Amino acid sequence: MMAPGFTQAAAAIAILLSVIVRSIRSGASWDAVEQGRATAEHLRDLTGIMKLEDLQHAFGPPRLEHGVFPVTRAEVLRNRTGLGYLLGDRWLDGGSALIAIIVLLPIWPVWDTRWVLNVLLSFAALYQAAGWIASTRFLGRR
């Protein structure tokens, strides 16, 4: 059995680290929604809606002090944009992590699927990189 090459292993580890960081960040935002203390920053992170005016159009004005939007998970999911999925989605991040883990296992060359996993690994890496590039736009708005 062959182990993955250095490039594949490095990409898989980078993807796993990216998924962990993005899960922590989006998990904190989802917790804020569940606890009724979601701010504009949390909603931007989850929906991808950058402008405060657009957030207020989608969710109404903040109704509590300190700019808190009392929204539900369903409202957030209904108003999610493509940018919101790039900033973090548990299914897409989970799929990326699964691909990375499979690549790191020493069994993947057994089925002669190296090219398939390299393509999947490339898509997972592109998704993670696009998310980080999108988050630079998000961080500039804070």
Q: Where do the structural domains in the chain lie, given as residue ranges?
A: 6-140
Q: Could you give the CA distance from residue 84 to residue 29 in angstroms, rounded to a whole number? A: 12
Residue 58 has pLDDT above 60, yes or no: yes
What confidence tier does 77 reach under pLDDT thresholds 50, 70, 90? very high
Q: Could you give the CA distance from residue 50 to residue 88 in angstroms, rounded to a whole number? A: 15
Residue 117's pLDDT is what? Answer: 84
SS3 content of the chain, % helix, strand, coil (to 5): 75, 5, 25
Whole-number average pLDDT of the chain: 86
Mean pLDDT within 16-42: 92
Residue 67 has pLDDT above 80, yes or no: yes
Question: Phi first, then psi: what are they for 81, rounded to 5°?
Answer: -110, 175
Mean pLDDT within 8-28: 93
